[in-house]
Amino acid sequence: MPLVTSARVDTSFGCNHEAHRFSALHPSYLRAITRAMTAAETGDELNTLRIRAEQALQRDLPKDHVRGLLEKLVARAVEGSPEACFANRHLAEILLEDSPWRAALQLRRLLRSCPEDDAGHALMGLSQALQSNYRMAVSSFRRAIAISPSNPSYHHNLGHLLDVALSRPHDAVTHLQRAFRAQPSQEEVGASYAQCLGRLGRCAEGIEIVVTLLQRHPRHAELIALRSWLERGAPAGGRSPSVVTNSRAKPTHPGVGEESRSLIRRGLTKLGRASEHIDQALAVWASYLAVSSGAVSADRPTIAALDYIASRRMKQPITQKVIAAEHEVTAHAMSLRYSKMRHLLKG
């Protein structure tokens, strides 16, 4: 019994001693200890929040849910930290579709503390282009390329802006050539390069590129129109396909609608999509045609976007990147089609 009593006394003494020792610390030390403990707790919280946001992005969960997680992460993370850069970048990407000016504000926060973030500069370029601030968009893509010089998407976007938006094909052609060499099977990249060559009077080279692309996509309406323009010598007075505005009348040929439906059905059947899934995609296509004010074609990025919308409506857990890869298109090209459809169909 004396040993037990002694042990209790010793334990009690130890606790009192520790309390006395901490109470004797200088207040500045106590504040430092408190800050360290709080930082540890906050660090765990931020890490958990980032993991949740990453998982939500990977699973392509509803935009409002993902946005809420990212906004919490932005509010709690220290500016310039990896968590803050991650959240600002992805939040801007979400805002880009519906509110490019708000995306630009978010990107300014990102680039102020993370100036070497090439994706941030590229997103800024897209947001400025969507606001028709083409020179600012060009500057942003140049910054992105300075950081990541081998990215074909950056070169394609910069070249396309220089050629179409600013009418500077001589400055554009080098960038489009680099993008095409890196992605020779992407029809949008090839079409941009061929169009630029046409503007420079190099129609034969442009035709060669388009003919190769048409071997893979023989009914691609925009490529057919581009080949015709190049074969006519790329007349300056005429409009090349990529700069035709929505004022162009809809196609009136009675077989166009059914031909597009057949293309969509074949494309999705080839990927093993169920009949219910294909019917969903065709229903979206019909709605899209009804509200579109200009000519549209069922090209591969469009079919990929229809596939993605059908997947979402059927609650299938799949991401845009996976769908784009299955259709052999760039995620960016598919995302542009998807954004346009969402805007016209109001979600």
Q: Which CATH number belongs to the domain containing residue 171 in this structure?
A: 1.25.40.10
- For residue 125, give the DSSP letter: H
Which one-letter amino acid corresponds to residue 107?
L
Quote the pLDDT of residue 43: 58
pLDDT tens, N- to C-terminus, the chain (347 residues): 444 333 333 333 344 444 444 445 555 555 554 554 444 445 577 788 888 878 877 776 777 888 888 888 888 888 888 888 888 888 888 888 778 888 899 899 889 988 998 989 998 998 898 888 899 999 999 999 999 998 888 999 999 999 988 999 999 999 999 999 998 888 888 999 999 999 999 999 999 999 999 888 787 778 888 899 999 998 875 545 543 333 223 333 333 356 678 888 888 988 898 888 988 888 888 877 776 654 567 788 889 999 999 988 888 878 888 898 898 887 777 877 787 777 767 65
Last residue of a domain, one of 98, 127, 149: 149
Q: How far apart are CA 236 and CA 12, in angstroms?
A: 94
Q: Which CATH number belongs to the domain containing residue 311 in this structure?
A: 1.10.472.10
Long-range contacts of 12-18 (CB under 8 A, 24+ apart): none
Q: Are residues 100 and 70 part of one domain?
A: yes
Task: Tell me if 24 is assigned to some domain.
Answer: no
Task: Tell me if 251 is assigned to some domain.
Answer: no
Quote the pLDDT of residue 245: 31
Task: Tell me if 5 is assigned to some domain.
Answer: no
Q: Is 232 helix (H, G, I), strand (E, B) or coil?
A: coil
Quote the pLDDT of residue 237: 57
Q: Are residues 118 and 134 part of one domain?
A: yes
Q: Are residues 336 and 322 part of one domain?
A: yes
Q: Is 10 helix (H, G, I), strand (E, B) or coil?
A: helix
Distance from chain centroid for Cα 78: 25
How many domains are contained in the chain?
3
Q: Name the residue range of residue 46's domain.
A: 40-149
pTM of the model: 0.61
Do the beta carbons of residue 296 and residue 222 sit within 8 Å? no
Q: Which of 99, 39, 36, 108 is nearest to 67 (CA)?
A: 99
